[in-house]
Amino acid sequence: MVKKVEPMTSGSIWKRMSFFALPLLLGNLFQQLYNTADSLIVGNFLGSSALAAVSSSGSLIFMLIGFLSGISSGAGVVVSRYFGARDVKGVHRAVHTTVAFGLVAGALMTAIGVLLSPQILSWMGTPESVMPESITYLRIYFSGSMGFVMYNIFVGILQAIGDSRHPLYYLMISSVINLVLDILFIEVFHTGVGGAAFATVISQVFSAILCLIQLLRTNDSYKLQISEIRFDSRMLRQIIRIGLPSGVQNSIIAFANVVVQSYINAFGEMAMAGYGAYSKIEGFAFLPINSFTMAMTTFVGQNLGAGQEERTKKGARFGILVTISLAELIGFGVFLLAPQLIAAFDSTPEVVRFGVEKARTAALFYCLLAYSHSVASVLRGAGKAVVPMIIMIFSWCIVRVAFLSISIPLTHTIQMVYIVYPLTWGLSTLVFFFYYKKANWLKQANISRKNI
C-alpha cells in the first residue's frame, strides 16, 4: 500500500513548501549529476577536446527537450489544480492524457534528435576537431529520448500532487548507476564519449521505470492504468493552453543559447571547455532556487484549485524572498571559489581562465535571475504562462542575440558573451517586478480556475 499524499492546501506555509522543496533539491542535485559526471570523467580521462564535444551538446539538448519539458510543466499545473480541488475524475483524465502525450513526444524526439544532430551541430559552428565526438554523443543520447521524456512526465505528475520524495529516491539510485557506468564504459572499456552517453541513457530509462512502478502501485486518484492511457480532447487543450507557452519559451531561449554557444565556439576548444565547465557549476548553484520555484508552482496551483487566495499570496511572497536570498548567498560562494570549481573539471590553465572570467562576471547577479524565475513560477502556477513566455523571450532571446550580434563584431572579445547574461537578467527582473506589482494576476487566475 502506497501512502496517501495530502494536498498543500493546509498547514504551515513555510513548512509545507520547504519540506516539499528539500527532496526536490536533493533530486535536482542527482539529476544534475547525470551530465556533470559525464563532464568530470570525460574531462579528466579523455581530455579537453572530448570535454568540449560534450559541452557543446548541452545547449542543443536543452533546446530539443525544452519544449516537451514546458508541456510537462503545464500538465503538472493542471493535475495540481484538480488534485487541490479533490476532483478524482479530473486528476484521472489529466494523468492519462499527459502520459499519452509523453509517449508520442518521446517517439518524435528520438527521430528528430538522431536524424538532425549533425546538421544542427554544423549550424552551431561546432569545430571540425570535435564534430565526430559531438555527433556520437548526441545521437546516442537522443536514442534514449523515450526514457528521458517519460521520466519527466512521471515526475511531473508526482510533484504536481505533492510527492517529491519518491522521485528523489529513484534519482539517487539511477545517478549511482550513471556514475558507475561512466567509469566502466570510459575507463575500463575505453568507449570514449559514446560510453558517457550510453551511461546516461541507461540510467534515465531505469529511473523512468521506477517512477512508472510507483504510479501503477498507488491507489490514489493519480493511479496510472495502462488500459486507460488515451487523449482526452478537453484535458489536452487545457494542458497545451498552459504548457505550450512554457514549451515555446524554453525552446526559443534554448535556441538563443545555441546561438550564444556558436559565439563561444568561435573562440576555440579552450573557451568551449571553460564555458562548459562553468555551465555545470551554475547548474549546481541554481539547484536550490529551481527547487523552490518548482515548489511554488505546485503550491500556487493546488491552493488556487482549492480557492484559497490569501494562502496563495502568502506562499508566493515567501517563495520569492527565499529564492532571492539563496541565490545571492550561493552567487557569492561561486565568485570566491571559481578557480577551484573550474579546475575540478579541467585544470588546464587556459580552460580555468575562461571559466573563472565567466563565473566572476555572472555570479553576483544570481539574485536577478532568481527573481525572474520565482515570479514566472508563480504566474505559471496561476495558469498565466503566456506572460513569462513573452517577457523571457524578449529579454533572454531577442535582446541577448541582438546584443551579441552587434557587440562581438565590434569588440572581438568573449567578455561580451559573459556580460550579456546579467544584463538580460536585469531587464527581465525589471519587467517582472512592474507586472507583478501592477497586474491583478490572482483575480485573473481565479477566473481561469473556474474553467478547469
C-alpha 395/C-alpha 399 separation (Å) is 5
C-alpha 69/C-alpha 74 separation (Å) is 9
Hey, CA dihedral for 70, 71, 76, 81, is it positive or negative? positive
Q: Inform me whether the pLDDT recorded for 2 exceeds 60.
A: no
Radius of gyration of the chain (CA): 21
C-alpha 334/C-alpha 54 separation (Å) is 23
What confidence tier does 447 reach under pLDDT thresholds 50, 70, 90?
A: very low
Q: Inform me whether the pLDDT recorded for 15 exceeds 60.
A: yes
Instruction: Give the percent of the chain with pLDDT over 90.
Output: 30
Q: Inform me whether the pLDDT recorded for 279 exceeds 80.
A: yes
Residue 421: predicted pLDDT: 93
104 CB-contact burial (10 Å; exposed 0-12 / middle 13-18 / buried 19+): exposed
Mean pLDDT confidence for 350-377: 93
Q: If you average pLDDT over every residue of the chain, what do you get?
A: 85
Residue 448: predicted pLDDT: 47
Q: Inform me whether the pLDDT recorded for 42 exceeds 90.
A: no
Number of Cβ within a 10 Å radius of residue 44: 15
Q: Inform me whether the pLDDT recorded for 1 exceeds 50.
A: no
Mean pLDDT confidence for 125-146: 84
Q: Inform me whether the pLDDT recorded for 244 exceeds 60.
A: yes
Residue 382: predicted pLDDT: 84
pTM of the predicted model as reported, rounded to 2 decimal places: 0.75
Query: Per residue in 376-409, is it b (16+ CB within 10 Å) or e — as a string?
Result: bbbbbbbbbbbbbbebbbebbbebbbebbeebbe
What confidence tier does 59 reach under pLDDT thresholds 50, 70, 90?
A: low
Mean pLDDT confidence for 413-436: 93
pLDDT higher for 39 or 165?
165
**What is the domain partition of the chain in residue ranges?**
13-449
Closest residue by Cα to residue 281 from 24, 40, 22: 40
Closest residue by Cα to residue 75 from 380, 312, 330, 446: 380
C-alpha 32/C-alpha 28 separation (Å) is 6
pLDDT higher for 73 or 351?
351
DSSP assignment of 88-156, as one string?
A: HHHHHHHHHHHHHHHHHHHHHHHHHHHHHHHHHHHHTT--TTTHHHHHHHHHHHHHTHHHHHHHHHHHH
What confidence tier does 398 reach under pLDDT thresholds 50, 70, 90?
A: very high
Q: Inform me whether the pLDDT recorded for 443 exceeds 80.
A: no
Note the pLDDT tens digit of each residue in 182-198.
889 888 888 878 888 88
314 CB-contact burial (10 Å; exposed 0-12 / middle 13-18 / buried 19+): middle
11 CB-contact burial (10 Å; exposed 0-12 / middle 13-18 / buried 19+): exposed
pLDDT higher for 14 or 257?
14
Name the packing angle between helices 309-345 and 349-362 (round to 10°).
160
User: In this structure, what DSSP letter does residue 198 have?
Assistant: H
Those residues with Cβ within 8 angstroms of residue 212's Cβ, 6 or more apart along the chain or in another chain = 150, 154, 224
Residue 214: predicted pLDDT: 93
- Cβ atoms of residues 49 and 269 within 8 Å: yes
C-alpha 315/C-alpha 382 separation (Å) is 12
Q: Inform me whether the pLDDT recorded for 394 exceeds 80.
A: yes
pLDDT higher for 427 or 109?
427
Lowest-pLDDT range of 57-61, 108-112, 389-393: 57-61
Q: Inform me whether the pLDDT recorded for 114 exceeds 80.
A: yes
Lowest-pLDDT range of 94-98, 204-208, 304-308: 304-308
